[in-house]
Structure 1
Amino acid sequence: MAETQATDREHALDRLTIERCMNDRQRRLRFPAPVERAYETYRREYRARVMASTIVPSLLIYNLYLIVDYLLLPATFDIALLCHLLVVTPWLLVAGLVVRQRPGLWLRECLSASMPLAMAAQLLFIFYLNREVGTAEHYQYAVSGILTYANVNQRPPFRFALASTLILIAGYCSVLLAAQIAFPAFFIGMALMSGVGYVSLVANYRMERDTRYAFLRRIHDRLENEISAHAATHDALTGLANRHEFDRQSALLYADRRHARTSLGVLMLDVDDFKAYNDYYGHPAGDACLRCVAGEISAQLRSDRDLAIRYGGEEFLILLFDATLAETTVMAERLRRAIETFGIPHAPTGSHVSVSIGAAAGVIAEHPLDTLVAQADAALYDAKHGGKNRVSPSVMVDAASTPRPAVARY
């Protein structure tokens, strides 16, 4: 479900917006709202996968640090063991489990940030208990490793990394001051934490910037592939399927045995006297006329299973899935009347642009597609020679008597 939502959001993006973001030389860590929403959906999935793959190694390394407690601060080893096993480890498991459920941005990142902060709090607590022990000065330096883990391994968004870094350094500084350790140790600790904080934040910033750019590149490549695929299967002028797509879809339809007893309706449509129209008004007007006709054809399709094809020139072919001959001719008449209602002037004929339509239908298992197309083409020939602006065979059902409301398309 989550992957479907991510894909839906990505499909809502347009190539121009993506390219504008990619050409932003400043590489900001914030996209326009639609892109940012898609990126957050992608990051939610990514963070869940990262948490699933790193939680066990993180817990293992964290608890192995008990060896350091045993060697450096044996007097408080029991307390450290209880903190590890009864407080921090359960919290890490709970936080990791919730993050894997893909919560919202703030809950996810706050929980993620709480994990290294909990580790650091436990370590500083043990350090404070041993503040008068000489070896404790070496023990507290381990907080720098936790800071690196927080910013580089977990890879939170930079703003969250910055906030958690400041909190951790502030807490570290407060504990050292409260412990009243010697100035050299305090200075070394603060210098180490500041340096690690700076380096890890720079790394975090660059990783987020690169991740965002990689996301844009991924979406851009997918959009480019979709555009290329659409161009290969659709007519550039009308947006309808082309002959190549017609051959592919019809082959799939006839290869699927589940549809063997399904009736397939076929319409062959031709714009009446289009050559005269094109010669009189010019090719741009002719192209606009064909786009208008194609738009109405698309609007009349009943479902995604129906297929409209620009068959050639001013000819269009329509396949109607699960349609009898009566239903096919009814739709043909509805389409003919809708186009007639547009009232596009056709000066050479002294009338308006109209279409003639031939219809055929048959059960898929018993009628090869080329036979149905030939029958529809023959019916179109009859319509042309019968006076044009008509459907052949004639509509016997009055279901198409009321045309759709006219829409200005020209």
Structure 2
Amino acid sequence: MNEIAVTLASVDACVNGRRTRSIRFPPDIERQFEADMHDKRCKRLTIGLLVSAPLYNLFLLGDWLLVPDVVRLAMWVHFSIVTPWMLLVAWLVSRKPRPFVRELLAASVPLLIILQIDLGFALTASESAAHYQYVVIPTLLYTNVSLHRLEFRFARVVTAAILLLHTAFVISASYISAPIAVTIIVQLLICGYITLIANYTMERDLRRAYLYSLRDRLRHADADAASRRDPLTGLANRLHLDDELSRVWSRPECRASPVSAVMIDIDHFKHLNDRYGHAAGDLCLKRVAAILQAEIRRTGDLVARYGGEEFLIILPDMAMMDAVRLAERIRRSIEIAAIPNEGRSLLGIVTASFGVAACSPSDLSPLELIAAADHALYAAKGKGRNQVWPPLVADATVRSLTEPLTFMASSSEAARGV
């Protein structure tokens, strides 16, 4: 399924505003429609052409019975021109060309068929030739409502060309009387009109069903996205976080690439809630979340609300020191935001503590990496808050690479009773 590039609002507006006779969508939805339906349309046309090629050649029975004087010419045109062209178009369409080219190729087939019919009609001297023109009716059915069924914008043009071309041959035929010619032309006009109405109705219903289906897909996608987002901050929630960790750890080509985790805790958040109220606390969480999102600039990085006033950043393919630099940049941005928190905070503003850890997916599990980052966060809080642990200095960096892993090893040993 193709990625959806339209919004639910635009689809709703299209559903509620479709009052014109045009069956085409606004440009953005039309592009999505083509993206979703192109492969299916190409497959349908390809199969239709392969099936209709032998059926078309059954028309030779009519040539033999009604216009035997031109049957050899008809056979030559059938097998040397029209049938090879149908098979070539089937192959070209199976290659999935651009939509306009696809429909142009499809439109060429009924036009070539009607030229073959009218060529025989013009050259014959058979007394039964007046009945030969009735093979135009199945050609119109084939063009507009049967196996081929052109898009309505092409069907209109091809139908008009078929009717005009055949009307010209009927009028010019000396062996057809005026009453019979009028009857033939009226009959073909009625057939053309009815098949075009059917073509329009089928395409309209197809597009309407697609539009409702697209709206349902977008609603489902929005509901799924809402279930994976924290309602207060708009960040990823634990469900989304777990899915992303599973995805990162399942990449076989990146088992040796580093993954960094940054655990963030807002300092003295309980005091802020007690002093300013929960509304101020919620606003603080939103502002910090916005800062985190603004600082994360790489595709694939994930910011999640881990719980309460804690946030977690997962940074695939980022080394430890780069993650520490990012954490320090975010720490300064939170300070610069100057969110009031007087009393417990030494600066009188909201600050945050950061714990950073890194590993290769082949060395630690996601839970172990998060535990290591949480352990580093507690170290930052124990050393005075409003800082990143490990700090951006060489000796601390060495410790930072070993302390979390030592912590994890000791925890594992304790769990086993060693």
**Contact kept? 2:262, 2:355, Cα under 8 Å:** yes
TM-aligned CA distance change 1:137 to 1:302, over 3 Å? same
**Contact kept? 1:325, 1:361, Cα under 8 Å:** yes
Distance in 2 of aligned mates of 1:316 and 1:112 = 57
1:384 aligns with 2:378: no
Distance in 2 of aligned mates of 1:297 and 1:40 = 38
Q: How does 1:185-264 map to 2 (within 5 A)?
A: 185-251=180-246, 253-254=248-249, 261-264=256-259
| Structure 2 counterpart of 1:207, one-letter code | M
TM-aligned CA distance change 1:221 to 1:333, over 3 Å? same
Distance in 2 of aligned mates of 1:108 and 1:374 = 56
Structure 1 unaligned spans of 5+: 399-410
1:296 aligned counterpart, secondary structure: helix
TM-score after normalising by structure 2: 0.83
Shift of residue 17 of structure 1?
0.6
2:110 aligned counterpart, secondary structure: helix
Distance in 2 of aligned mates of 1:41 and 1:257 = 31
1:266 aligns with 2:264: no
Structure 1 window deviating more from structure 2 (205-214 vs 236-245): it is: 236-245
1:116 match: 110
* Two-structure CA RMSD over aligned residues (Å): 2.8
Pairing partner for 2:325 from 327, 330, 333:
330
2:127 aligned counterpart, secondary structure: coil
Distance in 2 of aligned mates of 1:60 and 1:160 = 24
| Structure 2 counterpart of 1:70, one-letter code | W
CA displacement, residues 107-138 of structure 1 (integer Å, 9 cap, x when unaligned): 433332221121112112212222x5331121
Distance in 2 of aligned mates of 1:365 and 1:100 = 44
TM-aligned CA distance change 1:193 to 1:223, over 3 Å? same
TM-aligned CA distance change 1:372 to 1:281, over 3 Å? same
1:14 match: 7
1:405 match: none
Distance in 1 of aligned mates of 2:258 and 2:189 = 75
1:394 aligns with 2:391: yes
What percent identity do the matched residue pairs reach? Answer: 37
1:318 aligned counterpart, secondary structure: strand
**Contact kept? 1:47, 1:99, Cα under 8 Å:** no
2:81 aligned counterpart, secondary structure: helix
1:164 aligns with 2:172: no
Distance in 1 of aligned mates of 2:358 and 2:18 = 58
CA displacement, residues 199-245 of structure 1 (integer Å, 9 cap, x when unaligned): 11111111111121222233223222322322232322223222223
TM-aligned CA distance change 1:370 to 1:166, over 3 Å? closer
1:62 aligns with 2:56: yes
CA displacement, residues 340-361 of structure 1 (integer Å, 9 cap, x when unaligned): 2223344555633221112233
Structure 2 unaligned spans of 5+: 396-418
Distance in 1 of aligned mates of 2:161 and 2:254 = 65
CA displacement, residues 369-396 of structure 1 (integer Å, 9 cap, x when unaligned): 4444334333323333433211123221
Aligned length: 390
1:163 aligned counterpart, secondary structure: helix
TM-aligned CA distance change 1:374 to 1:84, over 3 Å? closer
